[in-house]
Amino acid sequence: MPAKFQLGRLLITPAAQEKLTNDDVLGAIRRHVQGDWGDVCEDDRTENELSLEQGYRLLSVYHAANGTKFWVITEADRSATTVLLPEDY
């Protein structure tokens, strides 16, 4: 499936890097760029679809193999995508 948007520069917070595996991160990035927003609520899913069209920030929520909840956020200008834990926000 092709990418729906540009990721920009890929970043990860130190806490996320410590708790997540490369497979967790790469799998989430792959899903995120294809428009699979993971475990977001229906309102956030709708917001992401609008954001794709209008050029706003995109948020996905995933769970690592070890159960750790983490987010993937792409900035509105598509300059960067960050993998982070909710407590990093």
Q: List pLDDT tens digits, range 46-66.
A: 999 999 999 999 999 999 999
pLDDT in tens, 13-34: 999 999 999 999 999 999 999 9
In this structure, what token pair is assigned to residue 53? 């069209």
pLDDT in tens, 63-79: 999 999 999 999 999 99
Residue 31: is it exposed, middle or buried by C-beta count within 10 angstroms (0-12/13-18/19+)? middle
In angstroms, the CA 62 to CA 45 distance is 13
